[in-house]
Structure 1
Amino acid sequence: MTTTISVEGMTCGHCEQTVEEALQDVSGVTDVIVDREDEQASVDDDVDATALVEAVEEAGYTAHT
């Protein structure tokens, strides 16, 4: 299943990488694509979207489904 979440606050490539790494650390995630220009992250996963939002917020960004 692919889940897309909105991510606010990314301003550079390092931000994208930080969000990507935070999402990849969530158990059950198999692939992540982060796009700061679209302010979105697409995640192939078998996890509840709440866990993804929490991971992004713990990394210091605002996220919602």
Structure 2
Amino acid sequence: MKKLITIDGMGCEHCVKSVKEALSSLKNLNIIDIKIGEAAIEIPADFDMDLIIEALDDAGYEVKSIQ
């Protein structure tokens, strides 16, 4: 299942790298693309979205939406 995450606080390529590292730490998640302000990922249907929110929060970013 493909999801688009809108992320607040990403303003540079260093932020993109930090978000990529945070999302890469999660199992069963496939990163499709990350750019300033958003990340496209592919996850299983039963994936706990709170894990994504928590990982990004720990990295210093706020999830605005997951679609």
The reply to whether TM is greater than 0.5 is: yes
Distance 1:50 1:19 in 2: 15
- Aligned pair count reads 63
2:19 is aligned with 1:44: no
State the structure with more CA Rg: 2
State the Cα RMSD in Å. 1.3
Query: Which residue of structure 2 aligns with residue 5 of structure 1?
Result: 5
Normalised to the residue count of structure 1, the TM-score between the two structures is: 0.82
- Is the contact between residue 4 and residue 43 of structure 1 (CA under 8 Å) also seen in structure 2? yes
When the two structures are superposed, what TM-score results if normalisation uses the length of structure 2?
Answer: 0.80
Structure 1 outlier segments of 4+, above 6 Å: none
Distance 2:32 2:24 in 1: 7
